């Protein structure tokens, strides 16, 4: 019986050592694989995503956002890493991340996608503080085709849309009908 207590104490630190830490485990992956297209440092913010400014990155974490803590299927960041390489949504383009990197990102999201080691989501401490996910709307392009997507934001001369399948696209305003352009401009808060 006197050996049971030390064995339990030894097991606790071992379990904690396996938790994914954003700064130690995830940030180096993003820096090596994603910053060239998604960072203020590179001057590129493709798809409206920036991973090197943690204040901005935190705004992409939460219910209805690019990363949904604890929900891999709704986490666009994760799904773009695991779709087939020939899929237009696959990131990074033209190559797969090492399996170990994908596993770390998967575990980080499952554990709550914290940027600071806490158990709460990075963008807010409670779900009540999160805005409701953007509703799916109909958008018409200049060719008359209807696009069903939620508007995430207006960025320069593009509207960032999330399709029902979770894929995010930068769609040029100039390729939307005048009515949809007005809809996008009215959606800006």
For the entire predicted model, the pTM comes to: 0.59
In terms of Cβ atoms closer than 10 Å to its own Cβ (0-12, 13-18, 19+), residue 123 is buried
pLDDT tens, position by position, 84-113: 888 888 899 889 999 999 999 999 999 999
Rounded CA gap, 105 and 20, in Å? 8
Could you tell me which of 133, 142, 13 has the C-alpha nearest to residue 74? 133
Report whether pLDDT(11) > 80.
no
In angstroms, the first-to-last Cα distance of the chain is: 63
Which residue intervals of the chain are DSSP H helices?
A: 4-17, 27-33, 54-58, 76-82, 99-110, 178-186
**Segment 169-181 mean pLDDT:** 89
**Segment 127-141 mean pLDDT:** 69
Task: Delimit the domains of the chain by residue range.
Answer: 20-129, 136-186
* 136-186 maps to CATH 2.30.30.700: yes
SS3 readout for 67-118: ECCCCCCCCHHHHHHHCCCCCCCCCCCCCCCCHHHHHHHHHHHHCCCCCCCC
pLDDT band at 64 (very low <50, low <70, confident <90, very high): confident
pLDDT tens, position by position, 42-57: 998 887 888 999 999 9
């Amino acid at each position: 019986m006197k050996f049971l207590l030390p064995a339990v104490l030894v097991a606790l630190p071992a379990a904690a050592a396996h938790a994914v830490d954003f700064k130690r485990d995830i940030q180096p992956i993003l820096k090596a694989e994603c910053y060239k297209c998604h960072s203020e440092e590179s001057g590129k913010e493709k798809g409206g995503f920036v991973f090197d400014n943690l204040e901005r990155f935190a705004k992409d974490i939460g219910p209805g956002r690019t990363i949904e803590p604890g929900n891999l299927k709704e986490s666009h960041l994760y799904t773009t890493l695991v779709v087939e390489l020939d899929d237009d949504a696959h990131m990074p383009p033209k190559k797969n991340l090492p399996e170990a990197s994908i596993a770390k990102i998967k575990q980080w999201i499952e554990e709550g996608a914290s940027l600071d080691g806490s158990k709460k989501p990075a963008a807010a401490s409670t779900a009540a503080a999160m805005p409701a996910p953007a509703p799916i709307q109909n958008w018409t392009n200049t060719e008359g085709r209807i696009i069903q997507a939620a508007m995430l934001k207006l960025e320069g001369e593009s509207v960032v849309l999330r399709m029902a399948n979770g894929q995010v696209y930068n769609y040029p305003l100039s390729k939307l009908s005048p009515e949809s352009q007005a809809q996008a401009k009215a959606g800006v808060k």
